[in-house]
Amino acid sequence: MIVSLLKDADPQAVKRELTALGLWIASVEQGLGSGGIQFVVAPHSTVVDPQLVAKIRGVFAVSMPVPEHPRIDAQGPTVEVAGHAIGGRLPTLMCGPCSVESKEQIDAIAARLAPLGVTFLRGGAFKPRSSPYNFQGHGDPALGWMRDAATKNGLRVVTEVLSEQDVCLVAEQADLIQIGSRNMQNFALLKKVGKAGKPVLLKRAMSATVEEWLLAAEYLLHHGASGVVLCERGIRGFDAATRNLVDLTAVALLANVHKLPVIVDPSHGTGRRDLILPLSRAALAAGAAGVMIETHDDPGRALSDGPQALRGDELEDVIGKLQAVTR
């Protein structure tokens, strides 16, 4: 809400009236039509009838700004993916290796995940690595390995697409297409993925604001995506004690105020396997719709992100403890 004041109005008197109604001032700007200032009301204020505000002495006009992301605002708290509702009553578990290293590896991991209540098999066929000398993924063959392993074990597939040219290929194999943090504002890729018409998991960029994240989601829905699930995987912090800084404030805001499904990735968020359980608990308490956790049969030999991957027995323990408090 934007409250424009008359030129000769007493701003402090108007502000007191607004505050008494539960309307908090986010910013003060120079008005246009009235010649006076205008108050921009914070979105977390009490819902008040604009006509009531217009009757305050000194108020020239009350206007409601046009929403910048109407599609994601209207989406709602659940997204349907291959018969599963992300954002439903129980948390969604997405687990698997950082990289799909071989057919045998992904088959074994999928078979181990299925009895644990995991819904999505995650894994990278195409890997965006900071160094050109690190393992980049097996590409096309790994997509087929994942699809086969998931189908045999009653799981769904979530995996990342890196380039526009691979969108159709990934869309054929994945139930949920992932946009990684490095591509959150790759608008050409967002348009192409949206046109595939499938649900999308949109990871937050390393330095993105919530508003930029929502606008990226709007791109996907505007171009045809059937739904967007947001994923908080940690933003850049200043402390090297953890790999990233998981923004649970943003999770609570998006889940409880915007009413959108948010998955938290504690593996990338912390870079430490010993913090996966406490951060997963905190994420679910903040309103997250689920968690994405990396696992590997032998983390010390993993081709990527071994320090943050849980062994099979560790993952089983974590999932058991999460399920005990969410059932």
Between CA 4 and CA 34 the distance in angstroms is: 7
- Which pLDDT belongs to residue 303? 86
Q: What is the pLDDT along the chain (327 residues), one digit of tens a residue?
A: 999 999 899 999 999 999 999 999 999 988 766 678 999 999 888 989 999 999 999 999 999 888 889 999 999 999 999 999 999 989 999 999 999 999 999 999 999 999 999 999 999 988 776 777 776 667 889 999 999 999 999 999 999 999 999 999 999 999 999 999 999 999 999 999 999 999 999 999 999 999 999 999 999 999 999 999 999 999 998 988 888 899 999 999 999 999 999 999 999 999 999 999 999 999 999 999 999 999 999 988 888 878 889 999 999 999 999 998 876
Q: Which amino acid is located at 286 in the chain?
A: A
pTM of the model: 0.90
Q: What pLDDT, on a 0 to 100 scale, did the predictor assign at position 304?
A: 83
DSSP string, 45-102: SPP--HHHHHTSTTEEEEE-PPPS-HHHHHH-S-EEETTEEETSSS-EEEEE-SB---
Element (H, E) at 146: helix 140-152
Q: Which of 123, 158, 144 is nearest to 304 (CA)?
A: 123
pLDDT at 33: 63
pLDDT at 66: 85
Q: What is residue 282's predicted lDDT score, i.e. its pLDDT? A: 96
pLDDT number for residue 136: 67
Q: Is 136:96 a contact under the CB 8 Å cutoff?
A: no
Query: What pLDDT score was predicted for residue 307?
Result: 85
Residue ranges of domains in the chain? 2-63, 70-326
For domain 70-326, the CATH class is: alpha beta
Neighbours of 194 (CB within 10 A): 23
Amino acid letter for position 65: P
pLDDT of residue 34: 60
